[in-house]
Structure 1
Amino acid sequence: MSAKARRTLPWEDKRERAFFWHCEADANVVAYLSQPHRLEIHVGRPRPLIYFPDLRRDLANGRVEIYEIKKAYNPDDDADYDLKLRLAADVYEGLGWSFRIIEAPEIERRPTLDTAWSVQRYRHVALTGQALADFTAHHMLTKEIAKWLDLHPNQVKRTLARHEIEPVCALKENMRLVWRRSDVSGCDHLWSRVPSSSRVLFHCVGSGRRHPN
């Protein structure tokens, strides 16, 4: 079930489902809906052209986007169908909406698709204000550590995770860090690069031990 559409959405092939993942993960998308409406375009024929778009996206800035999702699209394959899409684009333009044909290579581009899938799989998880504050503090502290050690933040995060280290707060006074961790062994290569003037303090959960400067 979609968290943003608040319902289960139908999809006809895996590319549509993958694009749903993008919509769930994209913070700019407020709501989206598959096969949102039926469009009848009268062109002087006995019967109007009927078009069902694949997806409508409502964005945080108020814009509306309409998408036709294709594995690949060649307008020369079907002249009547291409005419229908071009006329539909004109209708949407008159409404102030955008219209796009989006193809598989863009939808399935990695690592973007993998990231979208990872984000959307937790779409129903409730996030408390405290959890958000903790995440923000952790992120900012990681950036500070990386800056002090002249390392990339991702390198710091990998090292912390590998050794089960969790930075919990940064005390600005005297450039001191307080760390909570389950083990102090094996990480000397990380904190040995911290200048002694920074007076880094390591606090081990449950033991009270401090790693010597």
Structure 2
Amino acid sequence: MTIKPRTLCKQLPNRKVSLFYSKKSELANYIESRHEMAMALCLEFNDNVDFYQAQPAHIEFLFKGKMRRYTPDFFVRLRNGRILVIEVKCASILKKDAILRERLELLRNVYEARGIEFRVVTDEHLHIGVLIPNLFSLLRYRNKYLDIADLENILSGLSTHASATRGSLRRHAHSLNLSIDLIDIAIAKGVLGADLTQPLNDDLIIHFNHLQ
């Protein structure tokens, strides 16, 4: 199910609207802040997410005696069929603005009455370590073909270990005349495990015991 996005007004000087194409959802998303871009990247890499869309259809609700219009930042469908909407907010603003918190709590009730989960995600949830820069770096590998046989060939010489550094795996791939990009493709696809809040350098520890 695709939700028709709202029509975006002319860009304001203090608001830059970016276009982010989701290969997962096969559509272009209009992103209105760097925190929303971070959320889009997390959704793109989350294997539990089947589909997502930024700036979907709005709803109307009554707040403090007036009808208001609200457009979520994201509509999300999970692989288990659950539907949720996500609002991305700056944590410092959320902590200071009691009226905003009241409004979001009302919206939670409105959506839950429709059987839809409402989540507020803050920048503190998203910008952990260097997670977002790493996801940007790995994005180009996310949809590339991964030859599992070649990957297993690289790992076969390390069968007595459950982990290795990214650098040692890339060097081993090179010694076998295989592309060193295989390692990053496998990380991007979640086939190899890594703590992506840490720098994506040769010292990053890669886990692969589940493949052995």
Shared fold per TM-score greater than 0.5:
yes
Out of 38, 44, 50, the position equivalent to 2:58 is 38
Out of 90, 109, 115, the position equivalent to 1:96 is 115
Q: 1:77 to 1:143 in 2, by over 3 A?
A: same
- Which ranges in structure 1 are unaligned for 5 or more consecutive residues? 168-213
Is this contact kept in 2: 1:21–1:117, CA < 8 A?
A: yes
Q: 1:136 to 1:164 in 2, by over 3 A?
A: closer
Q: 1:144 to 1:22 in 2, by over 3 A?
A: same
Q: Structure 1 CA distance, aligned partners of 2:175 and 2:107?
A: 56
| Aligned amino acid, residue 163 of structure 2 | H
Aligned-residue CA RMSD (Å): 2.8
| Aligned amino acid, residue 39 of structure 1 | I
1:29 aligns with 2:71: no
Q: 1:57 to 1:119 in 2, by over 3 A?
A: farther
How far the C-alpha of 1:145 sits from its partner, in A, is 1.6
Give the % identical residues. Answer: 25
TM-score by length of 2: 0.62
Q: Structure 2 CA distance, aligned partners of 1:43 and 1:18?
A: 29
2:83 alignment partner in structure 1: 64
Q: Structure 1 CA distance, aligned partners of 2:150 and 2:48?
A: 24
Q: Secondary structure of the residue that 1:58 maps to in structure 2?
A: strand
Is this contact kept in 2: 1:25–1:119, CA < 8 A?
A: no
Is this contact kept in 1: 2:63–2:103, CA < 8 A?
A: no
Q: 1:66 to 1:146 in 2, by over 3 A?
A: same
TM-score by length of 1: 0.62
Q: Structure 2 CA distance, aligned partners of 1:29 and 1:111?
A: 22
Q: Structure 1 CA distance, aligned partners of 2:163 and 2:177?
A: 17
| Aligned amino acid, residue 105 of structure 1 | E
1:143 aligns with 2:155: yes
Q: 1:94 to 1:73 in 2, by over 3 A?
A: farther
User: In the comparison of the two structures, how many residue pairs are matched?
Assistant: 158
Q: 1:76 to 1:69 in 2, by over 3 A?
A: closer
Q: Structure 1 CA distance, aligned partners of 2:135 and 2:85?
A: 20
- Which ranges in structure 2 are unaligned for 5 or more consecutive residues? 1-20, 180-212
